[in-house]
Amino acid sequence: MKKILFNPFEQFSERSLILFGIAATILLSMTGAYFNARFDGVIDLHFSMPTFFMDTLMDNAVNIVVLSVALFTLGKFRNNKTRFIDVFSASLIARLPYYLLPFFNWNNTILNESEKLMQQFATVQPGMAPQFDTIQMLTLVLFAGVSIVFLSWFIYLLYQGYKVATNAKGAVEVVLFGVSLIGAEVISKLIFYLIN
């Protein structure tokens, strides 16, 4: 079970991973829309209303393509035998933990508490400290903690898939992978800026 959760790339064929990844992306894009989630960047998640299925699906499609192209470009540079299908399956599967985060916005809890927090900061008088509600802060801190865990899981899965796809080894590969991930984030943000 541990290998399935943390390194499925050595357990399943590319075809199985791609079919499962596409099906899960479509299904979890539906639930993402239901919980008002927008994945407006490779490592970004925001809540807003209203959110529609086609918006969330388009978010995820753009992120998967940008991530796949960025990692394939790096992979080809480092190992000429790198195949796009391997990097694509890694990008599909690695994002799955991230798609679970919208469930925490049940009944728009995270969205409402975030908006309340922003209003508190906007209305605070100069020289005065904002007053925070304990439940509000606990909710947001808990969600932030869970988000960090799921983001870490996403990055770990992505690197495992990248390693299998490119036969990457050593600290230099980790650094280059990190740079590519940041580059993919910047490119995805530019794309979302242009299409929205």
Q: What is the mean pLDDT of residues 75-84?
A: 94
CA distance 88 to 14: 9
At residue 122, the pLDDT reads: 73
CA dihedral over 41, 44, 48, 53, signed as positive or negative: positive
CB 113 within 8 A of CB 192: no
At residue 130, the pLDDT reads: 67
CB 136 within 8 A of CB 117: yes
Domain interval for residue 63? 2-195
In this predicted model, what pLDDT tens digit does every residue of 35-66 receive, in sequence order? 999 999 999 999 998 999 999 999 999 999 99
Over its C-alpha atoms, the chain yields an Rg (Å, rounded) of: 18
Print burial letters for 79-101: b (CB count within 10 Å at least 16), e (below 16): eeebeeebbbbbbbbbbbbbbeb
Per cent of the chain over pLDDT 70 is 98
Q: Is the pLDDT of residue 191 over 90?
A: yes
Q: Is the pLDDT of residue 149 over 70?
A: yes
Q: What is the mean pLDDT of residues 132-161?
A: 92
Which helix (DSSP H) or strand (DSSP E) does residue 47 occupy? strand 46-47
Q: What is the mean pLDDT of residues 110-124?
A: 82
At residue 118, the pLDDT reads: 81
Least confident piece of the model among 4-13, 47-56, 174-183? 4-13
Q: Is the pLDDT of residue 115 over 90?
A: no
DSSP codes of every residue in 49-80: SS--HHHHHHHHHHHHHHHHHHHHHHHHHH-T
> What's the total number of domains in the chain?
1
CA distance 183 to 129: 37
CA distance 138 to 3: 33
Q: What is the mean pLDDT of residues 139-163?
A: 95
DSSP code, position 37: E
